[in-house]
Amino acid sequence: MQSSMIGKIEKAHRYAEEPERIRFRSLEAEFRGSHDAYTVRLVGDAWDCSCNTFASQAVGTCSHVMAMQQILSSMLPDSARFRTADAGSS
């Protein structure tokens, strides 16, 4: 293998240990919940989920979105990280 590629692989390993280097601007994922599979989306700093809880509650979150926020925390802009329902106005 070329030495330049070995260097790139080593760099990739270092990057992989520093997920805060990565910022998701958008994503779409299938989330297999306990009862059904849902589509979770992030566009900019706005989350969306296809589940009934997200659609029926004014808080703009659900267990699927909150789980994604925990998993991806270091790769999300501050505005898309976990917030409690009353944190939006502060």
Contacts 24+ apart (CB under 8 A), 62-71: 63/33, 64/31, 64/33, 64/38, 64/40, 65/40, 67/31, 68/29, 68/31, 68/40, 68/42
From 1-9, 17-25, 60-68, 76-84, span contacting Zn ion (CB under 5 A): 60-68
Length of the chain, in residues: 90
Q: Which of 6, 30, 42, 62 binds Zn ion (CB under 5 A)?
A: 62
Q: Does 54 bind Zn ion (CB under 5 A)?
A: yes
Please list every residue from 31 through 50 that binds Zn ion, using CB under 5 A: 49
Q: Which of 51, 68, 72, 80 binds Zn ion (CB under 5 A)?
A: 51
Partnered with residue 26 across adjacent β-strands are 43
Q: Which residues bind Zn ion (CB under 5 A)?
A: 49, 51, 54, 62, 64
